[in-house]
Amino acid sequence: MNNSSRGMGQGSTMRAFMRDRSVARHRLGRGTVRRILAFARPYRTQLVVFTGLLVLDAAAGTAVPLLFRYLIDDGIADGDRGLVLALAGAAAGLALVSAGLAVAQRWVSARIGEGLIVDLRTAVFDHVQRMPLAFFARTRTGALVQRLNGDVLGAQQAFTSTLQTVVSNALTVVFTLAAMFAMSWQLTLLALLVTPLFVLPARWFGRRLADYTHRTYELSADVGQLMNERFNVAGAHLAKVFGDPARESAEYARPVEALREIGVRRALLSTWFRVGLTTTASLAIAVVYGLGGLQAIAGTLTVGVVVALAAYLNRLYGPLTAMANVQVDIMTALVSFERVLEVLDLEPTVADADDATDLRDAVARHGASITLDTVTFRYPKADEVGLASLEAVAAPAQEPTSDTLHDLTFTVPAGAMVALVGRSGAGKTTTGHLVTRMYDPTSGSVSIAGQDLRDVTLASLRATVGVVSQEAHLFHDTVAANLRYARPGATDAELEQAMRRARILDLVERLPQGADTVVGDRGYRLSGGERQRLAIARLLLKAPDVVILDEATAHLDSESEAAVQAALDEALAGRTSLVIAHRLATVRDADLVVVLDDGRVAEQGTHAQLLAAGGLYAELYRTQFATPPDGAA
């Protein structure tokens, strides 16, 4: 019996029965199989070779018991030493051939499987990058990563391990039964009568094993989520400030101890599963030897046939039992594929038009003015931008029910600085998102250099507009790598110049490895002001024509704010800028101040004009800079 068949007879069978049997009732979407085959098209030659190797391996495995039959009946029984040696040599040769075929199968399988993984992961990653910001605002990152990892691996198994298991088991059963019926149809039928003793208990064990496996996945996810929340730098800081180590340990221990109990039960159940298969097969072989031995004494069968039949039984029951679960095997792989396709089928709500033009040409001719013309906007609903399976628990109350912006109209002239102010929730950040085309307006238009942003390429828009937000995000990488994210080809001298202009060069030079120092998760090794100045240096390195500042100094102390403001002055010089700010002191020098209230333009004018008008801006200003009453500290 070759090794691959032995492995399929027990290990593969047990894994198959551990899967969720309810998946077999799943109905694939229309065209899913056709699309799956499209992914396999580049590998069709390898798949043909792979299938051929499986056929040869099954045939070689089937031939071995036949060789033993003739070795016993024609070689040993007749005292033909030459035939014995020849047939033994042939059996040894087939063993070597089987080993070679197993290696070849694995090589071809790996080529197909790893190639499919690259294709699928690349396709999903590239597609997800094109999704709008609303998609990421709703999607659980862990669920999305699972699609890129777990489901992609499950999908590629449709063409590797599942194909190998199904085809190899089917060929083994067909070849083995053909050989057994040819030798003794009576004993073969008797052997098949024992099959329910394999399948029925195995299905019961399979349901229990599947339940344990699913519970293990759930608990492992809980453990992973707990570690992810506690081990990232912000979570670790919160735990050290407010947490209790004993309580944290107890909370972690609960799912871990539950995993231990399930692991013990699953191990014991798996052992009973294997012992049951092995014992039943051994009993069947004993019956064949007993009845076959009697027939051999009576002269109706030869000893070689009895030995060959017993050997074939070793090959038969494992694959035959696994074939009872073949629909679950196939559907498990196809459903994983369908979950990957589900992500690929999401249409980006913000995408290039077919005839999109390059915004930079218009900016070069007309300057980078910004115009919002009667813009109305409502945040999209969940079914418009995402998948329910990728989101957290949804609640109808969380869905947007009204417009965030209403008939918003104002202009930022080329090279001017316009400040956008208002109470929290007035729509300031949303307006910035529309100018960067994180979203498209529900009605009206947003234009730069007279070009509707829906008519220009996203790549040219990204090259034209730069953003510094209130939470400057840095990757867990070096200072230099974070800066070059905006311009990968920047030289060291250009990095140094950008950092000098952002008032951060002296600090970077004092770091242990200078610009090669790793800044930590989200830049946590740096202060808020330092992160903001690095973000400004990144902006300067990009050198965009339009700058959006979204509360860039909102959470800084006075000293840090002064340093960042000096860097911002450098960044805004000569550029069209839209400055979103709560702190009105930062917008006194703006060419125009636009005041938003409940998503509408309440008033606009210069700082002095709006103060004199005594409207909402003046009220906000008095609130921030009111003179404290006498005696107040």
- Beta-carbon contacts of residue 184 (< 8 Å; ≥ 6 apart): 292, 295, 301, 305, 309
Q: What is the pLDDT of residues 373-416, one digit of tens each?
A: 999 999 887 767 666 666 654 444 455 568 899 999 999 999 99
280 and 378 within one domain: no
Q: What is the pLDDT of residues 94-147, one digit of tens each?
A: 999 999 998 999 899 888 888 888 888 888 888 888 887 877 777 766 667 777
44 and 165 within one domain: yes
379 inside domain: yes
Q: What is the pLDDT of residues 302-342, one digit of tens each?
A: 898 989 888 888 888 778 767 766 666 677 677 777 778 87
Domain that holds residue 51: 3-344
354 inside domain: no
439 and 390 within one domain: yes
Domain end: 344, 371, 386, which one? Answer: 344
408 and 323 within one domain: no
374 and 331 within one domain: no
580 inside domain: yes
557 and 516 within one domain: yes
List 466's β-bridge partners, or say none.
Answer: 547
Q: What is the SS3 assignment for 306-361?
A: HHHHHHHHHHHHHHHHHHCCHHHHHHHHHHHHHHHHHHHCCCCCCCCCCCCECHHH
Considering only CA atoms, which of 114, 96, 102, 4 is closest in space to residue 53? 102
366 and 326 within one domain: no
Element (H, E) at 84: helix 81-129
296 and 364 within one domain: no
12 C-beta neighbours (distance < 10 Å), count: 21
Domain end: 316, 344, 372, which one? Answer: 344
- CATH of residue 167's domain is 1.20.1560.10
158 and 53 within one domain: yes
Residue 240 near residue 180 (C-beta atoms within 8 A) = no
Q: Residue 608, Cα to own-chain centre: how many angstroms?
A: 52
Report the C-alpha gap between 172 and 165 in whole angstroms: 10
- Beta-carbon contacts of residue 37 (< 8 Å; ≥ 6 apart): none
432 and 313 within one domain: no
List 136's β-bridge partners, or say none.
Answer: none
- What order of strands is seen across the sheet that includes strand 600-605? 465-469, 546-550, 576-580, 417-422, 592-597, 600-605
Residue 551 near residue 430 (C-beta atoms within 8 A) = no
Domain end: 300, 316, 344, which one? Answer: 344
138 inside domain: yes
Q: What is the pLDDT of residues 454-510, one digit of tens each?
A: 999 999 999 999 888 877 788 888 999 999 988 888 999 999 988 988 888 888 999
Tokens found for residue 513 = 């490895």
Give how far Cα 223 sits from Cα of 206, 260, 404, Å.
25, 13, 39
41 and 172 within one domain: yes
632 inside domain: no
| Total domains present in the chain | 2
Report the C-alpha gap between 420 and 438 in whole angstroms: 18
- CATH of residue 432's domain is 3.40.50.300
What would you report as the CA-atom Rg of the chain, rounded to the nearest whole angstrom?
35
List 419's β-bridge partners, or say none.
Answer: 579, 593
Lowest mean per-residue pLDDT among 32-36, 274-278, 620-624, 628-632:
628-632
Q: Tell me, what DSSP letter sits at residue 380?
A: P
275 inside domain: yes
409 and 466 within one domain: yes
| pTM, full prediction | 0.69
16 inside domain: yes
350 inside domain: no
